[in-house]
Chains A and B, each alone.
Chain A
Amino acid sequence: MRRAPLLGIVIALAAALALPLLVSNFRLFQFTQVGIYAIALLGLNMLTGYNGQISLGHGAFYAVGAYTTAIMIDRWEVPYPLTIVAAGVLCLVAGFLFGIPALRLEGLYLALATFALALAVPQILKYFEHWTGGSQGIVLSKPNPPWGLKLSPDQWLYFFTLAILVGLFVLAHNLLAGRTGRAIVAIRDNPIAAEAMGINTALYKSLTFGVSAAYTGVAGALSAIAIAFVAPDSFNIFLSITFLVGVVVGGLASVAGAVFGALFIQFVPNWAQEISKAAPWAIYGVMLILFMYGMPRGIAGTLRLGWARLAPRGTRVER
């Protein structure tokens, strides 16, 4: 079982490293977006896929991350790598704090509260005009590559994002594969049994919320740098729904699923846009429902299942 994913990861990494040589700057920018989405989706997946807490409002943390970075760069001229750390920490705290009242909310009610959060975000951002620049947003400039590297800004941002992505994925994998991960999943599957086994449910749930928000916040920060622009209306409810689509299509409770989901939400709407302005969303909606019916574990889960079927006996995974 171990060989196939490892091979997959090596191939994917090699392809990712070779990519800048093969495609134009614009395409590369799109792949940077994919990396950014993948980080956000991984964050949401930890919460929703692994921990079973439904969030329809992760766009809010994405917005907090993006605005933290934008404001720090624009106002205080902080170097951009530092702002990403700040965004992550701020979202960790914000997520943890939001997670505490969320403890009392189960399933539907949590979904409802986060849905309301997502709807309110653009208004809140516009309201604090002094800091956020109101509906005009904040314009940044793309950073140049450091150390005199001979790369275009887009290429540099791509590698920069890729490095952060790999780091965060390794971190998430280690977190979820070990004792902590088992506790998180146990809470999803049976909270009462988990508590009876000595898992501090409240702590783990709010902590998962915090870490999840931090991942999404880092993604938001990266997106502010990559797009070099933030505006309130790009953080509407549909952004949060996009994340949900990504997680479901990629695969709930799967680290690799985040990459598949990110590829989906980056490229499928672009193709669909050519049919009609509304088409991407119609496709999203249909995909959400079809995946729930037919492939509830998403692309990653289906691939894993397919591999398990094909693999010779003895190497099969128990699922």
Chain B
Amino acid sequence: MDILVQQIISGLATGGIYGSVALALVMIYQATDVVNYAQGEMAMFSTYLAWTLMNAGLPYWVAFFGTLVLSFIGGVLIERIVIRPVERAPILTIVIVCIGLLVILNSVAGWIYSYIQKPFPSPFPERPITLGNVVFGAHDVGAILVTLIVLAFLYAFFRFTTLGLAMRAAAQNPASSRLCGIRVGWMLAIGWGLAAMVGAVAGMMVAPIVFLDPNMMAGILIYAFASATLGGFTSPGGAVIGGLIVGVIENIVGTYVHFIGTELKLTVALALILVVLVFKPSGLFGRAAVHRV
């Protein structure tokens, strides 16, 4: 029983990270109808920026927030420079451009920082937290908290600020928003910036667990896809819940189903994506897509 509880907690911790990346994916998808394949690599790159800042001697939290600012700027620039020219292009074009971005970020990170794994510090104490018979890693609990804080911030931002309202309007009905004087193009750019920030948080939370290397996000991205698919690509809250569910499923299946273990983890994500897409393509919390013919 204790093992089960422990597995669930650490599942929630990784699930929170999947949820954050999924949230970033969903934010961009909602605003621009683009599934950003480069989201994982953007997060990875942000994490390297954080590493650079820390190596320059900055304390953790200064580097943390500095990275968030840099990531925001990076996200905005990517939208303005790379995505904007193909905004109205067919899906195939956009997918290919995103893949191009993924490859560029991955190789540039490898070029600058080499492919050697680097340790990445955690802001939380190393001493585990003991509750009765159950022992939690402090980082696990911290990662869950950070995810929830990010989610609360985003919720408040979109719900209570004028800018958030304008962004939602721009995503929902660009033409009418433009008539109301909202600069739709910039709203999309800010959306990318925010998504890059959320990704950066996820990257900095996951790096202490998996170590920092240019390919660290590949596996996480596929889980984030699974989370977003499960929660529904049209539902930000669903993406986070989807992430938590996926994280727990991953851990429990890995522990208790012996033929899967750790070796077939990615296949579990693949199967999950396929099953959800075939049986309930809009996910648990999403709206069914309706097309005008």
Give chain A's interface residues, CB within 8 Å of chain B. Answer: 48, 52, 54, 56, 101, 104-105, 107-109, 111-113, 115-117, 119-120, 123-124, 126-127, 192, 237, 241, 244, 248, 252, 276-282, 284-289, 292-293, 296
Q: Is B5 an interface residue (CB 8 A)?
A: no
Please name 8 pairs of A and B residues whose Cβ atoms are closer than 8 Å in the assembled complex, sorted by A. Answer: A109-B229, A109-B277, A120-B266, A123-B265, A127-B264, A278-B111, A282-B111, A292-B97
A286 to chain B, nearest CB (A): 6
Task: Determine if B218 and A285 form an interchain contact, defined as CB atoms under 8 angstroms apart.
Answer: no
Given known contacts A111-B95, A120-B270, A123-B267, is B86 in contact with A292 (CB within 8 Å)? yes
* Residues of the B chain whose Cβ atoms lie less than 8 Å from the Cβ of A241: 99, 102-103
* Residues of the B chain whose Cβ atoms lie less than 8 Å from the Cβ of A126: 263
* Residues of the A chain whose Cβ atoms lie less than 8 Å from the Cβ of B102: 241, 285
Give the CA-CA distance A109 to B101 in the complex, in Å. 19
* Residues of the B chain whose Cβ atoms lie less than 8 Å from the Cβ of A282: 103-104, 107-108, 111
**Dominant secondary structure of chain A at its interface with chain B:** helix
* Residues of the A chain whose Cβ atoms lie less than 8 Å from the Cβ of B92: 48, 52, 54, 107, 252
> Which 7 A-B pairs rank lowest in CB-CB distance, beginning with the nearest?
A288-B100, A285-B104, A281-B107, A285-B103, A107-B91, A278-B111, A278-B107
Partner among A116, A281, A288 whose Cβ is within 8 Å of the Cβ of B225: A116
Using a CB-CB cutoff of 8 Å, which residues 259-279 of chain B contact chain A? 263-267, 269-270, 273-274, 277-278
Closest B residue to A240 by beta carbon equals B99
* Residues of the B chain whose Cβ atoms lie less than 8 Å from the Cβ of A277: 110-111, 115
Give the CA-CA distance A237 to B106 in the complex, in Å. 13
Q: Is B208 an interface residue (CB 8 A)?
A: no
Using a CB-CB cutoff of 8 Å, which residues 130-157 of chain B contact chain A? none
Task: Determine if B270 and A296 form an interchain contact, defined as CB atoms under 8 angstroms apart.
Answer: no
Task: Determine if B277 and A104 form an interchain contact, defined as CB atoms under 8 angstroms apart.
Answer: yes
A61 to chain B, nearest CB (A): 15
Q: Is B198 an interface residue (CB 8 A)?
A: no
Give the CA-CA distance A54 to B94 in the complex, in Å. 11
Closest B residue to A104 by beta carbon equals B278
Give chain B's interface residues, CB within 8 Å of chain A. Answer: 35, 37, 82, 85-86, 89, 91-93, 95-97, 99-108, 110-111, 115, 218-219, 222, 225-226, 229, 263-267, 269-270, 273-274, 277-278, 281, 293
Partner among B95, B100, B266, B267 whose Cβ is within 8 Å of the Cβ of A286: B100
Among B103, B106, B264, B277, max chain A CB count under 10 A is at: B103
* Residues of the B chain whose Cβ atoms lie less than 8 Å from the Cβ of A284: 100, 103, 107
Task: Determine if A120 and B269 form an interchain contact, defined as CB atoms under 8 angstroms apart.
Answer: yes
* Residues of the B chain whose Cβ atoms lie less than 8 Å from the Cβ of A292: 86, 89, 93, 96-97, 100
Given known contacts A278-B110, A282-B108, A292-B100, is B269 in contact with A54 (CB within 8 Å)? no
Task: Determine if B111 and A279 form an interchain contact, defined as CB atoms under 8 angstroms apart.
Answer: yes
* Residues of the B chain whose Cβ atoms lie less than 8 Å from the Cβ of A52: 92
Closest B residue to A126 by beta carbon equals B263
Give the CA-CA distance A105 to B279 in the complex, in Å. 11
Partner among B107, B219, B225 whose Cβ is within 8 Å of the Cβ of A279: B107
Give the CA-CA distance A292 to B91 in the complex, in Å. 12
Task: Determine if B108 and A56 form an interchain contact, defined as CB atoms under 8 angstroms apart.
Answer: no
A257 to chain B, nearest CB (A): 14
* Residues of the A chain whose Cβ atoms lie less than 8 Å from the Cβ of B277: 101, 104-105, 109, 112-113
Partner among B91, B264, B293 whose Cβ is within 8 Å of the Cβ of A108: B91
17 additional A-B pairs beyond A107-B95, A278-B107, A279-B107, beta carbons within 8 Å, are A48-B92, A109-B277, A113-B270, A116-B222, A116-B226, A119-B222, A120-B267, A124-B267, A192-B293, A248-B96, A277-B111, A282-B103, A285-B107, A289-B82, A289-B101, A289-B104, A292-B100
Task: Determine if B273 and A113 form an interchain contact, defined as CB atoms under 8 angstroms apart.
Answer: yes
* Residues of the B chain whose Cβ atoms lie less than 8 Å from the Cβ of A285: 99-105, 107
Give the CA-CA distance A48 to B93 in the complex, in Å. 11
Give the CA-CA distance A260 to B262 in the complex, in Å. 41
B75 to chain A, nearest CB (A): 17
